[in-house]
Structure 1
Amino acid sequence: MKIDSIDHLNTATAQRVGVSFLHESADLHVSGTATYTDDLPELQGTAHIALGLSEKAHARLLEVDLDAVRHAPGVIAVLTVADIPAANNCGPILHDDPILADSVVHYVGQPIFAVIAKSHDQARRAARLGKISYEELPAILTPQEAKAANAGVLPLMSLKQGDARKALESAPHRLQGTFQCNGQEQFYLEGQISYAVPKEYGAVHIWCSTQHPSEMQQLVAHCLGVGAHKVHVECRRMGGGFGGKESQSALYACVASVAAVKLQRPIKLRLDRDDDFMITGKRHGFYYEYDIGYDDEGRLLGARLDMTANSGFSADLSGPVATRAICHFDNAYYLSDVDMSALCGRTNTQSNTAFRGFGGPQGALVMEVALDTIARRLGKDPLDVRRINFYGKEDRNVTPYDQTVVDNIIHELVAELEESSEYRQRREHIRQFNASSPVLKKGLALTPVKFGISFNVPAFNQAGALVHVYRDGTVLVNHGGTEMGQGLNTKVAQVVAHELGLNLEHIRVTATDTTKVANTSATAASTGTDLNGKAAQDAAYQIRQRLTTVAAQLFSVEESNVKFERGQVQIGDQTMPFFQLVEHAYQARVQLWSDGFYATPGLHWDSKVMKGNPFYYFSYGAAVAEVLIDTLTGESRLLRADVLHDVGKSINPALDIGQVEGAFIQGMGWLTTEELVWNAQGKLTTHAPSTYKIPAISDCPIDFRVNLFDGHNAMDSIHRSKAVGEPPLLLPFCVFNAIRDAVASVGNYQIEPELNAPATAEAVMRAVAAIRKAK
């Protein structure tokens, strides 16, 4: 399915799902009138916060002299850890993440104190005047160092299936080696920000750019030492999140709230981009040691994988990230005998956190690199090696964590893409090109994706919603998900409009608010529409049933003869506008609002042995990339990308294609240009757009073919759709493998490239030089 033109959008139809409606804030986004947290009118007396940051990676604080800070122009107050009323913790799971440093600092950039001043600029200037004396301590800066020191923020995780040792020893061939992928900065367009306003009796109202308002509510309540009912968190929209605002918005919400309650005035904490880079965690970088057994056809026989994640100084969400990495090592392939372990390595860097894919990309990447290497060793096309290892339909269909794959469509999806992308013909043309081109080399790769959908923790797979129908027939919806540009509110509005038979303009979705829907889960793990769409559908269904009863009684017909469509209600042979039926219901004292709830069924997980049924279903996809590299400079360019992705029965094809395109480019950036660099003192040196390169429009392929696979979800998801946020980020594995393929051509595909991720120009040059030296 492909959206060919804007004419497909907002099509007049009775159907409100499966239709490409515009994003509900599209005109606000493009006109610059969408309201974000920093755009809210500031209340009288609003003060601003800046944070004083550590200059050492690991050290004891000997003296913190803040006299100059307190006497700086415009400064109202200075807060340290002693000013936090209760828990000095903003960690989402463990209490190991201080809001402000207490006696010891654990990374360069860790907040030590907070300056409250009359203006943002005054606060920032004053924060640089602190005089701090340190006693430096040994620092661990890489996952390899963490592994060598056996330093983990959590106990070692392991999963075993079958007898990997025996399978490896009896395998005709073995691939052994190491690999490494770097982290990635979320680089949301709107930085971290919280605006806190004190209320009566010690309560506080916080407008926060966060993916998890309920967690912000809980952590703020804990640090203030009050009940959650005194903390009101609200988020209308974010300017991007990508996981970076799931847990790490807490520090800013907590500091702003402490200051607001202490000073009894509105407080805004908005990070400068450099400070945002320096303080916040990123995607976990991973270091791998692997041993894979295979036969003459390339069939996988056994595998041992030892992963070490760069977790940073605290646990944050490293446990769930590592769990998902382990559960995605298999990607789309059957593995009978495996032995996997993951260490969440403690390093003296920013505490790494959620990022789109949440460990899944790190788990699957090493498998895709290994399969390409196996194919080159055997002189086979990598697609043929992949295909014989795919999960089967009725056998070879149980994952290493004991979940049966019942919705496998990878065979037909890949076959369709292979044909539409002309993969075989292009492979031959590229071989011919490379044979006659000594400097410029092309590469081609096709990689698949199988991605599990649900939170690792079963309890998080629940959602609530409120639907209010007003007497004029208009509808207000509130749910627990957060809008960060992905179109969640648009899809939820479509679901409600479809359920009530209304036009989309009659539905309004309001800001996420902890006083309306309580105890919500984060908008993460690609579950936003799955969970909140189902909850909103449940609420709207209840109202429709009540209205159906009113209509049936009004005209003495069976309830089965009542239909809702296009703002009208067909009641037997009679037709009535929706708002008139609503008025009848109101006069009859029928409830015109309802709450809805949804809990994903069939999930269970034993974290001790890492076995169970952690995913409700799987999303699938595949992509082909053709790249060109310059062997003299290392520069690479993506010439063409063909993508075929599975979103089930799409609720909004235009939004879904946009998500696939965005995820592809973001994943490509992770694997090619986005390099995080720390110096020997543990300072992040790539902490600004001038030193950290995200993909620009010039990095996108001129020929970019994105299509949605024509299918439906085998499971009872919302309108049989599938999640689209995270799975397509794994599609650009093909770009990385295509670059490796191009580099391998320098040695006539006989020498394996020494190329880790990201494949920057410098890294490609080094890999090319190594092959030329080895020839």
Structure 2
Amino acid sequence: MRKLIQHGSSTALSACETVPGHDSAIGHVTGRAAYVDDLPGPADMHHLAVGLSPHASARIRHMDLSEVRCQPGVIDVITAAEIPGHNEVGAVYPGDPLLAENEVRYAGQMVFAVVADTLYHARCAVAHACIDYQVMTPALDPVASIKAGLTVLPEHMHERPLPAPALDRGAAMSEDTQTSGNVDRALQEAPHVLTGEQCIGGQEHFYLEGQIAQAERLDDDGLRVLTSSQHPSEVQKLVAEVLGIPLHGIVAEVRRMGGGFGGKESQAAALGAMAALAAHRNGCAIRFRLPRADDMQATGKRHPFYNQYRVGFDETGRLIGADITLIGNCGHSPDLSEGVVDRAMFHADNAYYLGHARVTGHRAMTHTASNTAFRGFGGPQGMMPIEGAMDDIARTLGLDPLDVRKRNLYDLERCETHYGQQIDQPLIGDLIETLEASSNYRVRRDEMAAFNADSPVIRKGLALTPVKFGISFTARHLNQAGALLMIYTDGSVLINHGGTEMGQGLHTKVCQVVARELGIAYHRVRISATRTDKVPNTSPTAASSGADLNAMAARKAAITLRERLVDFASEWQALPREQLTLTGDGLTTGTGHIEWSELIQQAYLARVPLSATGFYATPEIHYDRQTGRGRPFYYYAWGAAVSEVHVDTLTGEYRVARVDILHDVGDSLNPAIDRGQIEGGFIQGMGWLTTEELKWDDQGHLLTTGPATYKIPACGDAPRDFRVALLEGHPNSQATIYRSKAVGEPPLMLAISVWSALRDAIASLADDRSSPRLDTPATPERVLMACHAARAGNVHDGGATREEMPDVMSEK
């Protein structure tokens, strides 16, 4: 059995033994940590509110804002006509106007803005607008959109007349495909073939701090934008383009965010641009905060997906071939959907060797807010079909789903993905064996079968599911980072890097790395706010790469300074470099120890430069979109979870009774932070799959706009028995920062085990002969309907079947 770092253990840290947990924890708990809306405003502070479209698809015939301008406290009303530069804040491709002009494409789109002396006055004034719309029929069904050729691919952006674009050209461009082997022949010759379909719901980010920005004029005619954004460089770029000024005229700054999860990667830019535009026009500071209901209407979510799968397998349950189709509901514009669907396709195998495989991805346009990044970035949605198929195969053959999963895992012989990347560290087999034993899976499975046989109402379910998650941005150019490191004459150290802190502990890890490389105490190192005038052209803090990129850049800067200091000390002490080491909070020589502050003071007097920059670019990654082949990921993170659920089959209510997790983080930079990320990621994933339901009416209006109608997991929803362990003894095979692995996104997908366990419990109502269809989120209502179907013998209805696939796949 592998040696583990158990939850709550006092095992020493692998990188910096004396470093505490999250260094912002005290500020967060006591309320001393200041977010944008906590900051005292300048004396000239004004506030901004926006008018949102009430329609999902409409033309603007006429807009009369004269009454708005007459309201108390109003100093400015802004429409698209007043934008001096580009009316565009699309992250990658055009399609996201800052303010609507001529047409609106989703209910909640920003149409105009009001600037007033108070937030109350600004919001009251918005209600006095008089806008005449020609209402159109919205496209709200992603499957219907794909059949009609409505996609968000970039070639299509300028050919979108309402109500529908030219269907012949759109349909030809609607998909990407990754293929390995001869899929059709493999499926034709397979002894068994199953098909299935899923509807996977979206997810609201529901960060504690909503979208917000503040803009202030600088005395050199520039603008400083305080933004709650995961991508300050993008805020800088888009603000400059909206205003029509050079990038050096904008400073975007992020001290901290009250949560991000991807929702502030691209969509925070619109608030920064709107606040900056108002500040630029009126010569005063502007704060723009969206109230929760407006935030939920105006901003995108995790992409809902419609998935189909056809799998061929032998008598043991081993896959022979797989044909998987993924349709992402992208909303009205591209935003980041190209990459989201790409990553869903890359993760359609999860941890399994598919054999002959074809994975097809579609990007459907609908008249809803443009969906965007969310923890996992399409990976979770892409994994769902193959996990559903594993359960389906097992019940078709009368096997334990875990045995079917184990027979299909990547190993040293079968280690090439369907997109051609070789897996050089397939840990998942050993990891699952360890977790199977530590969780007592087999005994609990037998006990559960006996319980279910004697229990007419309460049924128990158990599932062990794996995770393989690729680490890198799939857009190659984003895999870079810079850092600026400064040492002051008292020995204190200040580091600035391009990553942003949203509660995940990135700054703590970067400080650890700098302290370790310089051989100094952790308390000497501090991080300054992320600013575009310190480190330029930064990548977003996303793709689980925050520490991989920024800590490595900081390390390179620290190594540069360390070498300078050792060179100086060698001359100063007249000793060979080999006898000098920066350690123990100072300089250790062959004859004694010099305190760090003394070393720095002497280096300053000797005119040694005490600042340095560092830069890092992830090596070896590439991908050819035309062939669907390459190495898009530097490495993979692995994990597995066992979840046990108890279901009341008469009401559909259930609880998650116990969860056991074993997760691979390489040589952990900070086990306390990593465990926190695993626990939080799992709970967030559980919310996505069970309780967090987004609802729209048939006109495209979002109905779930706050905590009264949208249920995120609460303390009472957490597993009663929650056991988390880190796999030890498996450093990353790639040269990452101290051989660690990313931990931000991979744990979210461990929650697939909860969904699979619910299906397991419901299947017991049909003697485990068939798998129920259970779309997500698996709310009590959906669970109850699945229970009724299982009792009635209709478990195949829309689930795994031997019939032909529905139209989308058969028309390919």
Q: TM-score range by the shorter chain?
A: over 0.9
TM value normalised by structure 1: 0.98
How do 1:90-101 residues align onto structure 2 when only pairs under 5 Å count? Answer: 90-101=89-100
- Mapped contact 1:452–1:618 kept (Cα < 8 A): yes
Q: What is the CA-CA distance between 1:22 and the residue it aligns to?
A: 2.2
Q: What is the CA-CA distance between 1:770 and the residue it aligns to?
A: 1.2
- For residues 209 and 137 of structure 1, the distance between their equivalents in structure 2, rounded to whole angstroms, comes to 35
Q: What is the CA-CA distance between 1:128 and the residue it aligns to?
A: 1.9
Q: What is the CA-CA distance between 1:16 and the residue it aligns to?
A: 5.5
Select which of 678, 686, 695 maps to 1:660: 678
How do 1:291-370 residues align onto structure 2 when only pairs under 5 Å count? Answer: 291-370=310-389
Which residue in 2 is equivalent to 1:53?
52
- Mapped contact 1:19–1:652 kept (Cα < 8 A): no
> May I ask how many residue pairs the two structures share in their alignment?
770
The answer as to 2:587 corresponding to 1:569 is yes
**CA deviation map 1:206-231 (0-9, x unaligned):** 00000000011111111111110001
Mean CA deviation greater in 485-494 or 145-154 = 145-154
State the one-letter code of the partner of 2:554: A
- For residues 563 and 297 of structure 1, the distance between their equivalents in structure 2, rounded to whole angstroms, comes to 59
How do 1:33-432 residues align onto structure 2 when only pairs under 5 Å count? Answer: 33-154=32-153, 155=173, 156-200=175-219, 202-393=221-412, 395-432=413-450
In structure 2, do the counterparts of structure 1 residues 383 and 3 end up closer, same or farther at CA, with 3 Å as the change threshold? closer
- For residues 549 and 574 of structure 1, the distance between their equivalents in structure 2, rounded to whole angstroms, comes to 17
- For residues 425 and 465 of structure 1, the distance between their equivalents in structure 2, rounded to whole angstroms, comes to 52
**CA deviation map 1:84-122 (0-9, x unaligned):** 111111111111111110110001101100111111111
Q: Secondary structure at the match of 1:633?
A: coil
**CA deviation map 1:667-716 (0-9, x unaligned):** 00000000000011110101111000000000001100000001211111
- Mapped contact 2:19–2:522 kept (Cα < 8 A): no
- For residues 92 and 25 of structure 1, the distance between their equivalents in structure 2, rounded to whole angstroms, comes to 30
State the one-letter code of the partner of 1:556: A
Q: What is the CA-CA distance between 1:739 and the residue it aligns to?
A: 0.3
Q: What is the CA-CA distance between 1:647 and the residue it aligns to?
A: 0.4
- Mapped contact 1:212–1:522 kept (Cα < 8 A): yes
The answer as to 2:626 corresponding to 1:608 is yes
Q: What is the CA-CA distance between 1:609 and the residue it aligns to?
A: 2.1
Q: What is the CA-CA distance between 1:556 and the residue it aligns to?
A: 2.2
Q: What is the CA-CA distance between 1:201 and the residue it aligns to?
A: 5.2
- Mapped contact 1:18–1:649 kept (Cα < 8 A): no
Select which of 629, 635, 645 maps to 1:627: 645
Q: Secondary structure at the match of 2:482?
A: strand
- For residues 507 and 144 of structure 2, the distance between their equivalents in structure 1, rounded to whole angstroms, comes to 44
- For residues 449 and 402 of structure 1, the distance between their equivalents in structure 2, rounded to whole angstroms, comes to 19
State the one-letter code of the partner of 2:511: A
Which residue in 1 is equivalent to 2:552?
534
Which residue in 1 is equivalent to 2:523?
505
Q: What is the CA-CA distance between 1:18 and the residue it aligns to?
A: 5.5
Select which of 579, 591, 597 maps to 2:615: 597
- Mapped contact 1:75–1:123 kept (Cα < 8 A): yes
Which residue in 2 is equivalent to 1:733?
752
- Mapped contact 1:500–1:540 kept (Cα < 8 A): yes
- Mapped contact 1:552–1:571 kept (Cα < 8 A): no
State the one-letter code of the partner of 1:552: S
- For residues 201 and 32 of structure 1, the distance between their equivalents in structure 2, rounded to whole angstroms, comes to 34
- Mapped contact 2:84–2:243 kept (Cα < 8 A): yes
- For residues 311 and 62 of structure 2, the distance between their equivalents in structure 1, rounded to whole angstroms, comes to 53
- Mapped contact 1:3–1:654 kept (Cα < 8 A): no
**CA deviation map 1:581-611 (0-9, x unaligned):** 1111111111111000101110111122221
The alignment yields a C-alpha RMSD, in angstroms, of 1.3
Select which of 425, 437, 455 maps to 2:455: 437
Mean CA deviation greater in 731-740 or 146-155 = 146-155
Select which of 433, 436, 446 maps to 2:464: 446
How do 1:745-760 residues align onto structure 2 when only pairs under 5 Å count? Answer: 745-760=764-779
Select which of 544, 548, 556 maps to 2:562: 544
Moved >6 Å (runs of 4+): none
State the one-letter code of the partner of 1:246: E
In structure 2, do the counterparts of structure 1 residues 196 and 581 end up closer, same or farther at CA, with 3 Å as the change threshold? same
- For residues 25 and 36 of structure 2, the distance between their equivalents in structure 1, rounded to whole angstroms, comes to 18
- Mapped contact 1:286–1:309 kept (Cα < 8 A): yes
- For residues 145 and 668 of structure 1, the distance between their equivalents in structure 2, rounded to whole angstroms, comes to 29
State the one-letter code of the partner of 1:739: L
- Mapped contact 2:510–2:547 kept (Cα < 8 A): yes
Q: Secondary structure at the match of 1:665?
A: helix
Q: What is the CA-CA distance between 1:148 and the residue it aligns to?
A: 2.5
Q: What is the CA-CA distance between 1:565 and the residue it aligns to?
A: 1.9
State the one-letter code of the partner of 1:624: V
- Mapped contact 1:18–1:652 kept (Cα < 8 A): no
- For residues 608 and 247 of structure 1, the distance between their equivalents in structure 2, rounded to whole angstroms, comes to 26
State the one-letter code of the partner of 2:143: Q
- For residues 370 and 129 of structure 1, the distance between their equivalents in structure 2, rounded to whole angstroms, comes to 54
Which residue in 2 is equivalent to 1:579?
597
In structure 2, do the counterparts of structure 1 residues 397 and 3 end up closer, same or farther at CA, with 3 Å as the change threshold? closer
- Mapped contact 1:16–1:504 kept (Cα < 8 A): no
Which residue in 1 is equivalent to 2:164?
none
- For residues 563 and 194 of structure 1, the distance between their equivalents in structure 2, rounded to whole angstroms, comes to 46
Q: Secondary structure at the match of 2:465?
A: strand
Q: What is the CA-CA distance between 1:384 and the residue it aligns to?
A: 0.8
- For residues 511 and 409 of structure 1, the distance between their equivalents in structure 2, rounded to whole angstroms, comes to 38
Q: What is the CA-CA distance between 1:750 and the residue it aligns to?
A: 1.8
- For residues 38 and 474 of structure 1, the distance between their equivalents in structure 2, rounded to whole angstroms, comes to 30
- For residues 59 and 200 of structure 1, the distance between their equivalents in structure 2, rounded to whole angstroms, comes to 42
Q: Secondary structure at the match of 2:766?
A: coil
Q: What is the CA-CA distance between 1:197 and the residue it aligns to?
A: 0.7
- Mapped contact 2:6–2:724 kept (Cα < 8 A): no
Which residue in 2 is equivalent to 1:525?
543
Q: Secondary structure at the match of 1:521?
A: coil
Q: What is the CA-CA distance between 1:20 and the residue it aligns to?
A: 5.6
Which residue in 2 is equivalent to 1:26?
25
**CA deviation map 1:303-332 (0-9, x unaligned):** 111111000000000000000000000111
- For residues 52 and 686 of structure 2, the distance between their equivalents in structure 1, rounded to whole angstroms, comes to 32
Q: What is the CA-CA distance between 1:151 and the residue it aligns to?
A: 1.0
Mean CA deviation greater in 727-736 or 764-773 = 764-773
State the one-letter code of the partner of 1:518: P
- For residues 695 and 448 of structure 1, the distance between their equivalents in structure 2, rounded to whole angstroms, comes to 22
Gaps of 5+ in 1: none
State the one-letter code of the partner of 2:299: T
- For residues 232 and 521 of structure 2, the distance between their equivalents in structure 1, rounded to whole angstroms, comes to 30
Q: What is the CA-CA distance between 1:458 and the residue it aligns to?
A: 1.0
Q: Secondary structure at the match of 1:729?
A: helix
Q: What is the CA-CA distance between 1:353 and the residue it aligns to?
A: 0.1
- For residues 295 and 364 of structure 2, the distance between their equivalents in structure 1, rounded to whole angstroms, comes to 23
- For residues 203 and 145 of structure 1, the distance between their equivalents in structure 2, rounded to whole angstroms, comes to 47
In structure 2, do the counterparts of structure 1 residues 411 and 761 end up closer, same or farther at CA, with 3 Å as the change threshold? same
- For residues 626 and 251 of structure 2, the distance between their equivalents in structure 1, rounded to whole angstroms, comes to 36
- Mapped contact 1:2–1:706 kept (Cα < 8 A): no
State the one-letter code of the partner of 1:482: T
